[in-house]
């Protein structure tokens, strides 16, 4: 007897992640918001932090065998420093001043729990550079509200794209879900994707 097709559960309420999943033909049967402590551990570096967050988010919403759970976490890092989600216009402006004219890394980790409970985690690393930003550009972007709630204080899928002069790596990863790695893990977990 053939095993039933597993149901995909997305451990994220991010509309960007849902939209990105549709690009690879993956439609979640359920969406669950993970409730975990997202504070970095003392001395935790950006890459291990991103991987831990994705893994913990997946485990936090996994409920039963037969489901495939997908979780992601995107971390913006300037050197060893993690730039969290900006919570105000002032923080967006502060982050943009820090990132202006400099390269930074974006770690986009994904974790998949397969229908048998096995878990795999991968991470796409991208390098991004903003042009040298004027105070007027910083003020304009900050006041738009687009960067509030976004890691590092910006959304590459929005107007910030016009301020970025270099990107190496996964554009979808910087948005919030690296599609190449996601597709590979979901296929390995038994989801039939084109």
Q: Where are the domains of the chain?
A: 7-189
pLDDT tens-digit map of 80-90: 999 999 999 99
Tokens at 57, concatenated: 């988010």
pLDDT value, residue 177: 96
Instruction: Flag whether pLDDT at 78 surpasses 60.
Output: yes
Q: Which helix (H) or strand (E) holds 165?
A: strand 164-168
Instruction: Flag whether pLDDT at 2 surpasses 70.
Output: no
pLDDT tens-digit map of 136-172: 999 999 999 999 999 999 999 999 999 999 999 999 9
pLDDT value, residue 66: 82
pLDDT value, residue 65: 76
pLDDT value, residue 192: 83
Q: What is the CATH number of domain 7-189?
A: 3.90.950.10
pLDDT value, residue 131: 98
Q: Are 31 and 70 in contact, with CB atoms under 8 Å apart? A: no
Q: Which helix (H) or strand (E) holds 156?
A: none
pLDDT value, residue 4: 66
pLDDT value, residue 3: 59
Q: Which residues are catalytic?
A: 73
Instruction: Flag whether pLDDT at 127 surpasses 90.
Output: yes
Burial 9-20 (b: 16+ CB within 10 A, else e): bbbbebebbbeb
pTM for this prediction: 0.93
Looking at residues 130-140, what average pLDDT do you find?
98
pLDDT tens-digit map of 11-69: 998 889 999 999 999 999 999 999 999 999 999 999 999 999 999 999 999 987 789 99
Which one, of 123, 122, 40, 132, lies nearest residue 80 by Cα?
Answer: 40
């Amino acid at each position: 007897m053939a095993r039933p097709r597993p149901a995909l559960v997305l451990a994220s309420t991010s509309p960007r992640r849902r939209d990105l999943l549709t690009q690879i033909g993956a439609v979640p049967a359920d969406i669950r918001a993970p409730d975990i402590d997202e504070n970095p551990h003392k001395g935790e570096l950006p890459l291990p932090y991103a991987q831990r967050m994705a893994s913990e988010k997946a485990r936090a919403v996994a409920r039963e065998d037969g489901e495939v759970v997908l979780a992601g976490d995107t971390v913006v890092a300037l050197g060893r420093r993690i730039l969290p989600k900006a919570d105000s216009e002032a923080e967006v402006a502060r982050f943009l001043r820090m990132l202006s004219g400099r390269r930074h890394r974006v770690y986009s980790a994904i974790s998949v729990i397969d229908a048998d409970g096995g878990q795999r985690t991968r991470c796409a690393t991208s390098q991004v550079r903003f042009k040298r930003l004027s105070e007027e550009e910083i003020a304009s972007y900050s006041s738009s509200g687009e960067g509030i709630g976004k890691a590092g204080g910006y959304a590459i899928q929005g107007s910030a794209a016009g301020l970025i002069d270099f990107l190496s790596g996964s554009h979808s990863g910087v948005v919030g879900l690296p599609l190449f790695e996601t597709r590979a893990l979901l296929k390995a977990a038994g989801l039939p994707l084109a």
